[in-house]
Amino acid sequence: MTPRRGTAALYLSALVATAALVGCGEDSDTPTPADPATAYVERGPHAVGHRVDDADGLTIKAWYPAAAEADGDIEYAFVLKFPGFPADPVAAHGRALADADAAPGRHPIVALSHGFGLNPEWYHQLAEHMASHGFVVVAPEHTEHDWAPDVVRASIARPADISAALDFALSGPLSAHVDPEHIAAVGHSYGGYTALALAGARFDMQGHAESCADVEDPFVQGYLCDPFTEDALTAEMGLDAAPEGLWPTLADDRIDAIVALAGDAHLFGARGLAEVTVPALLIGGTADTGSPWDWGTGLAFEHIGSADRTLVAFEGSEHFVGVSSCDDLPFMQGFPEEMRAYICDDPAWDKPAELALVDHLTTAFLAKTLRGEPEAAAALDPAVYAEVEGLSVTAGR
């Protein structure tokens, strides 16, 4: 059963209301323990800074705990990559202080991989939320534009971009404020693919061919099967011949945990996904048409080798989980109606409520795996969400 919009909106209201009451009981000297359903739903205690840097030609955008709070909303300016769109910058509305001094202390690193053809700013609400809870978020600007001509190159380049962004985080202007021993990767859509690859998932082209052999859906055939030929991937990886069995790893051993939001997993299959052993949070919509459940989130949860893994299923939801509200992406008003509706609306979920849950659960997972916070582990307990209509949280197999 999918959640009614009113149900989701009421749940969001309940989360915020409950969070506001934490610590406000009659006995003000006795702090109330954080409710696991609300512990990470609001922005955290840190002000948020934002900066843009160039690292040997790779643009890296960062959000981090800052020493000073932004004075009201800001505008992020960036250029859309979709073919046929103007090259003039567009703006997103956020709340971070540009080029702010970093707050004292060292914080875990989160590498953020945006969706195919998008930009890090599409996820600024999630990035700001994580930074406000004490994480340094580094997001490389992947350079692909159009699926068919670019996706094979992107499949190899994206993990390398994240590794380069981590190198920059560890040696660049924020290096004195990062914890090099605790690092996670978070990604949406092909960014979810990127997170899985960084965690050790390997191509299984034999399995991929078998999965594609009986496909009747023209979208799946055209987007998830046809572009990924052995010859194209062999050339892009610089190999002499297509390997037998699993292909060479694209992993970065510094990655301690991953979050894949509506992540593509079809290139890895069951055998390639089994190579992932780090803690993993997999979030997606069961009605996803961009990364279909059985080719993405559901497939990954079923087959990754991680003993510590959690699945979050938004029943009836579409593909754009984790993307900032279109209220903060005003340029979306100029998009074709069908495209705008696909990104901004959802067939089953109230988008602000869904995004609040993504922010909350993602931050809880990072706080648990990178900082060992006991309240974060409690916030990932499936029992906490048992009464939320249309939301399924599953731990382990």
pLDDT in 10s for each residue of the chain, 397 residues = 334 344 444 455 555 444 433 333 344 444 455 688 888 999 999 999 999 999 999 999 999 999 998 877 889 999 999 888 888 999 999 999 999 999 999 999 999 999 999 999 999 999 999 999 999 999 999 999 999 999 999 999 999 999 999 999 999 999 999 999 999 999 999 999 999 999 999 999 999 999 999 999 999 999 999 999 999 999 999 999 999 999 999 999 999 999 999 999 999 999 999 999 999 999 999 999 999 999 999 999 999 999 999 999 999 999 999 999 999 999 999 999 999 999 999 999 999 999 999 999 999 999 999 999 999 999 999 999 999 999 999 998 6
- The whole-angstrom separation of Cα 385 and Cα 151 is 37
3-state secondary structure the chain: CCCCHHHHHHHHHHHHHHHHHCCCCCCCCCCCCCCCCCCCCCCCCCEEEEEEEEECCEEEEEEEEECCCCCCCEEEEECCCCCCCCCCCEEEEECCEECCCECCCCEEEEEEECCCCCCHHHHHHHHHHHHHCCCEEEEECCCCCCHHHHHHHHHHHHHHHHHHHHHHHHHCCCHHHEEEEEEEEEEECHHHHHHHHHCCCCCCHHHHHHHHHCCCCHHHHHHHHCCCCHHHHHHHCCCCCCCCCCCCCCCCCCCCEEEEECCCCCCCHHHHHCCCCCCEEEEEECCCCCCCHHHCHHHHHHHCCCCCEEEEEECCCCCCCCCCCHHHCHHHHHCCHHHHHHHHCCCCCCHHHHHHHHHHHHHHHHHHHHHCCHHHHHHCCHHHHCCCCCEEEEECC
Question: What per-residue confidence (pLDDT) applies to 50?
Answer: 97
Give the model's pLDDT for residue 240: 97
The predicted structure's pLDDT at residue 70: 80
Residue 14 confidence (pLDDT): 52
Strand partners, 98: 50
What is the model's pLDDT at position 72? Answer: 78
Q: What is the pLDDT of residue 73?
A: 82
C-alpha separations of 101 from 67, 68, 111, 171 in Å: 6, 7, 20, 17
Class of the 5-395 domain? alpha beta
Domain residue ranges in the chain? 5-395
What pLDDT sits at residue 13? 52
From its phi and psi, is residue 163 left (phi > 0), alpha (psi between -120 and 50) or beta? alpha
